[in-house]
A and B are shown apart, each in its own frame.
Chain A
Amino acid sequence: MTSPVIRSATISVLVENEAGVLARVVGLFSGRGYNIDSLTVAPVDDNGHRSRINIVTSGTDMVIEQIKAQLDRLVPVYKVADLTLGGPHIAREMALIKVIATGEKRAEALRLADAFRARVVDATSESFVFEMTGNSDKLDAFAALMRPLGLAEVSRTGVAALARGATII
């Protein structure tokens, strides 16, 4: 029996780095009505022939099986791995977070940034830009705390992910 429960899945796709490959992947998601919660892509080998696409998506088990099978049949795809199902994995993203604040709020923002190990990468008398790396929940939590303190703008990279241990996809 399959569960009708919606789960989140982090899927890594190793692709030939050719024109249109990202459009194929994105078009597949939009054309078939699948969700994309986050997507990252960059070349990952020495000569830039292969790229890794990391997609965070959600759906029932049956839908996620479909997504993987659909991705796997694209011609320029080498490999599809479900990191969520495949055992423990690390997923990280980076965010740049701009807070515009003065006085006590400014001091509080700095204290919280310190607690979250966010780095100050830009500062003026009325603003900070924090850089922060972690899993998505941690970034969400930090952004939520900054909101009452003057959160002005957020730029996030999306998730990069690898399986833990010696496992490779």
Chain B
Amino acid sequence: MTQILAAPDPVETHQAGAEVLLRALKEQGVEVIFGYPGGAVLPIYDAIFQQNAIRHILVRHEQAAVHAAEGYARSTGRVGCVLVTSGPGATNAVTGLLDALMDSIPLVCLTGQVPTHLIGNDAFQEADTTGITRPATKHNYLVKRPEDLARIVHEAFYVARSGRPGPVVIDLPKDILIGKAPYVSAPTAEHRSYRPQTEPDRSAIARAVALLKSAKRPVIYSGGGVINAGPTAGAAMTALVRKMGYPITNTLMGLGAYPSNDPQFLGMLGMHGTYEANLVMHGCDVMLNIGARFDDRVTGRLNAFSPNSKKIHIDIDPSSINKNVRVDIAIVGDAGRAIAMLAEAWDADPTPVDRPAIAAWWKQIAEWRGIDCLKFDQTQASGGIIKPQYAIQRLYDITRETGRDTFITTEVGQHQMWAAQYFRFDKPNRWMTSGGLGTMGYGLPAAMGVQIAHPDALVIDIAGEASILMNIQEMSTLCQYRLPVKVFILNNQYMGMVRQWQELLHGGRYSESYTEALPDFVKLADAFGGTGLRATSVDQLDDVIREMIASPRAVIADICVDQKENCFPMIPSGAPHNEMILGTEHGANIADAGAAKLTDAGMALV
């Protein structure tokens, strides 16, 4: 027999597209994919079956896959990865993609697509996925040629995590997954066109420091950009703010970047922010915004927003600067780099700060704090009804007692705002909430993603009874993977936030905001294979929280709270910061306040 030694066949360096895809994901450091199978992505599932490096978590709905990847990404600082099939798989993912876009969360979402020759034919489970997701992603790709596959995967991860992070979709026709494709490694060269500026301008930093040193009533207002810049950016900001001795407030997205028990911390600002944070924003003379975007929930009425201040804005996205609010000093760049340069320039500039003015400012702030805007009345009488604020406060106290690393996610509504007000965060990446899009149904799948990334941590979804039903099916996923996520429902039987607006703006006509028939959440937990608990009076609360935390299983704790409670302080839409409504504990009447303060223009706002 003659032996023929074949020359190396170039095609042998080619693998099936699905394998090339997984190899590229591995090179990008992907360890977990959240996904759901279907016809168009079967080749990928087959490749997943035949390897062990990447773990697949089977969700129960594609929207949940995206939120889970968001939770994973936000709690780790890494890029989350999602895999869904064509057509309905892709359309189900859209809400999650937009959620990630609005909150600047890095994701790569792989969507199946019909084979290239069928695209445009209204084939079975065909959707124009790149068309549908274009405004819901930072960028998207349709892979049309095998030779583009590996390059596009690497590029997608680069785009997702660079500059202002966001979700990226890669649409994968089935023939590309089945056919052979060449592999290329991640490029070392710079991207052709996408090169976000990360290095701040030194002269702008120097001008910012000069302005900050001259301030008499300064404030630092930081947002999600500092979280996205990584834990060292938060620590550096904390050190800088302490050195300055100036007050700091965080946006909803920015909580945890600055330790919330620190005396310089004013609490969250904005529509449901603290009295002191909002009045400081209104009355300041110099504002330093780091990684926040002057969102309408924060500014209130724009022409009355912080009318007498000079403003410095640090943002990685130039389109965030001067979008809503004109600023005096714009600094484009990475928040971490900008903070480091500010600290350096602060030390280098010999000008002293105006101590007497700053002391007077703190005295004013102490007066505002003295109002105690978050106070509430909780009866301790046996059988007494639980105030939702108290439930969060006890949850916080008891989790702190345990000393466990605790991650909080939320759904959307009053409970979300109470969580932001009464749960306190000392570290970044511990707080995951849907800020920009306000997506009910976010919290449970997000908690799932967090728990996958942090198996030993305590992960709690602070939920409302309405929101939780939007992705309740994920209890099944939790039980399959033995993920001991805790769902802490503040059950007021109302879409509380809707009810609050109806009380305030629509004459107390509670149109469709009361849920006539709710499931028995204890039995529901049981049905999924988890544990259900319930507290109906204040004397039961602590025991339920302790039992929930101690349980090694997924738990739903149904906390039946005061149905009439409203979330205060509140700046009604279209009102300025200094026209805040305080709670009934402060003698306020919500209906009067609403009628008096709301303009027609404000009514039109959400």
Contacts and interface: CB of A to CB of B under 8 A. Distances in A.
Contacts of B139: 74-75
A78 B134 contact: no
A66 B193 contact: no
A63 B380 CA distance: 55
A33 interface: no
A86 interface: no
Contact of B192 (A2, A16, A66): A16
Interface residues of A, number: 21
Given A19-B144, A75-B193, A77-B193, A27 B326 contact: no
B142 interface: yes
A117 B130 CA distance: 46
A34 to B, nearest CB: 12
Contacts of A69: 317-319, 321, 323
Contact of A75 (B138, B317, B322, B326): B138
A12 B128 CA distance: 29
B155 to A, nearest CB: 9
B159 interface: yes
Contact of A16 (B134, B193, B319): B193
**B interface, by DSSP: helix, strand, loop or mixed?**
loop
Given A20-B134, A62-B326, A73 B192 contact: no
A20 B132 CA distance: 12
Contact of B322 (A20, A23, A62, A77): A62
Nearest to B131: A23
A75 B194 contact: yes
Interface in B300-349: 317-319, 321-323, 326
A72 interface: yes
Contacts of A65: 322
Interface in A52-92: 62, 65-66, 69-70, 72-78
B144 A72 contact: no
Interface string A4-46: 0000000000011001100110010001000000000000000
Nearest to A31: B135
Interface string B184-200: 00000000111010000
B134 A2 contact: no
A73 B142 contact: no
A27 B196 CA distance: 21
Contacts of A20: 130, 134, 140, 142
22 contacts: A2-B326, A15-B193, A16-B193, A19-B142, A19-B144, A20-B130, A20-B134, A20-B142, A23-B134, A62-B326, A65-B322, A66-B322, A66-B323, A69-B317, A69-B319, A69-B323, A70-B319, A72-B318, A75-B138, A76-B194, A78-B192, A78-B193
Interface of B: 130-131, 134-135, 138-140, 142, 144, 159, 163-164, 192-194, 196, 317-319, 321-323, 326
Ranked nearest first, the 10 interchain pairs of A and B with the lowest CB-CB distance are: A69-B319, A75-B139, A75-B194, A69-B318, A78-B193, A70-B319, A31-B135, A16-B193, A76-B193, A73-B319
Given A20-B140, A75-B159, 5 more contacts: A16-B192, A20-B134, A72-B319, A75-B138, A75-B193
